[in-house]
A and B are shown apart, each in its own frame.
Chain A
């Protein structure tokens, strides 16, 4: 689904990302871990063509992302709060995204029903603008919006951060259901090794922009990761 070849990003003289080759097959739940500055967000931004690569390219379902915009209809993402439109209510935001993805209001209302547990009555029908929600609730709205319209590729940057424990657990279940039911390719990053090993089938460790580990998740993965990071 997503192929990165000879991908690198330099700022000034320093290399922040340098990936020889990375291939994420369709339907995979793909996890990125790495310390701050390892290049996780840079990689996601490159996939979304929000920054331009210094060398190399990313191909998303046969479309080179910095050459054509045709990857947009089947790709969705939530990177940070700058993906939210602060002066809309959450409903209006969902409707807006829905409209861009060819879903009408009624479709969205049905779609949102399945998230009533996660929303915990704090998001829908509250007569509040997104900018006035707490960080955690903003994040919930952003993640749910990224799932609108059954995108084939979903990119979430640190989806577990800022969420309350209950929601973290629900989100884990949601993400694993997603790949099972709809065959979406999910790319997430996290600093929580426990969560990411639970959710992802494959985990890539980045360090200073380079891939240092590429693991199929198994019983030992968590231990291996903990050993790697406890230096």
Chain B
């Protein structure tokens, strides 16, 4: 049976139009994976010599154990945003002669073979091997390595529990951030020193291997909790079924003043507000706005002006990047309607453009208080806003014509945890990297004003040529219309 499931997964993956259309993204993902593997390998091989050199007095193994807490905390955060519980189309399987428990075990079991669980091994195995060759007790090190695997899996299953709990709330990423920063703070201010506790525990276990049973039992417990969360969801009237919402209607007649694009603007606003996934891109605005606080007060970045450009683009463009890159996939569910209705493509795209434009201006206005950290920041934010409006909006709209991945708005939270994965952030990357480059070179050779001027001029050119560019983009959409329709018709 399990073999069958694996075959389905394979077919689902390779037969989806997404795979066929976006090989470039897949290749990019592979490169990222390779990069992380290399980093971890370097860590695994380099750790022992470096620690030995820097701290000749202390035992490298004990020192590494002292850092484990931060490692796992980071791991947990990263997984929350990047790792999804393996999605499987459950409904067709329910009436087949397959035990429900088997389906759940399969879903959970599959999560174990995630890339995230193998990544630490690239550091753990070389480090352990070096330790053994340095005359550590072989049994101790083997126990330690096993322990690391158990801990990694613990984080794996802990993450799913947190995800399943937090998707029920509106601000799905707040709990994890609260938990992580809470733990970090408790540890940092030494209210409860988790890092020492964990370190002592690991040292204890490596000394008396029988204690190894405790983490294993804990892991089994987490697995069981996951199981009991998922198991009752496997009913069509359970969480596989849509919860009926009470419709709220709102008067959006103020959008009239936008003229021809008003009906689309209304539609977009409803789209964003009434569907979980696009709605989260609104809440991300808050995060984006606070993002500057990580950088500006920090004296370490004081001299890294190009870094501020990154923050500026991020702050004024966060909604644009989040929402814009899924144009027109947000409308994929009813794309056929839009294509056969009395709609001009231009108005449809203009509505999306206006939304992004307004968001950039709004975010700029809201970010004005950052002037507290220096007038340069305000200038940078302004230039970033102009660049975002003039260049990035058009890039996003143009990129949208290559969009072939359907977004199922009706899909419920149960088996659709984050909805977006690492790919989203990769696409956002060039949108932020290019303006930094455009700023950096004039800045380096001619000074701050030249860098700012370059961004504003580039943005200005985009704004001046807006009509022309939109005509070109519209043409591109018309050209790929049939391809998009057939791709949006597919379910995976």
- Contact residues of A with B, CB < 8 Å? 48-52, 69, 72-73, 75-77, 79, 82-89, 91-92, 96-97, 99-101, 126-129, 131-132, 149
Contacts and interface: CB of A to CB of B under 8 A. Distances in A.
Contact of B341 (A82, A97, A126, A131): A97
Given A85-B334, A128-B247, A131-B242, A49 B274 contact: no
Contacts of A129: 245, 247, 274
Nearest to A101: B342
A149 B333 CA distance: 24
A88 B274 CA distance: 9
A49 B336 CA distance: 10
Interface of B: 242, 244-249, 262-263, 266-267, 270-271, 274-275, 333-337, 339-345, 409-410, 481-482, 485-486, 489
B482 A51 contact: yes
B343 A100 contact: yes
A72 B343 contact: yes
Nearest to B344: A69
A69 B478 CA distance: 10
A83 B344 CA distance: 17
A162 B156 CA distance: 45
The 6 residue pairs across chains A and B that have the minimum distance between CB atoms: A83-B337, A87-B274, A48-B340, A99-B263, A132-B244, A127-B247
Contacts of A83: 334, 336-337, 340
A40 to B, nearest CB: 16
B271 A87 contact: yes
Nearest to A133: B244
12 contacts: A48-B336, A48-B340, A51-B486, A69-B344, A72-B341, A76-B341, A83-B334, A87-B409, A88-B267, A100-B343, A127-B247, A129-B245
Contact of A52 (B242, B247, B266, B482): B482
Given A87-B270, A96-B266, 18 more contacts: A48-B336, A48-B339, A48-B340, A49-B339, A69-B344, A77-B340, A79-B336, A82-B333, A83-B337, A83-B340, A84-B334, A84-B337, A85-B333, A86-B333, A87-B274, A97-B341, A127-B248, A131-B410
A210 B334 CA distance: 30
Nearest to A132: B244
A87 B275 contact: yes
B274 A96 contact: no
A127 B271 CA distance: 17
B272 to A, nearest CB: 10
Contact of B245 (A75, A126, A132): A132
A69 B344 CA distance: 8
Given A96-B267, A97-B341, A82 B336 contact: yes
Contacts of A76: 340-341
A82 to B, nearest CB: 5
B244 A128 contact: yes
Given A72-B342, A83-B336, A92 B263 contact: no
Contact of A127 (B246, B274, B410): B246
B271 to A, nearest CB: 6
Contact of A73 (B342, B345, B481): B342
A53 to B, nearest CB: 10
B342 to A, nearest CB: 5
B334 A86 contact: yes
A50 B334 contact: no
Nearest to A44: B340
A91 B266 CA distance: 14
Give the most central of B245, B337, B343, B344: most A CB within 10 Å: B337
Contact of B482 (A50, A82, A87, A92): A50
A52 B263 CA distance: 28
Contacts of B486: 51
Nearest to A65: B340
B485 A51 contact: yes
A104 to B, nearest CB: 11
A188 to B, nearest CB: 16
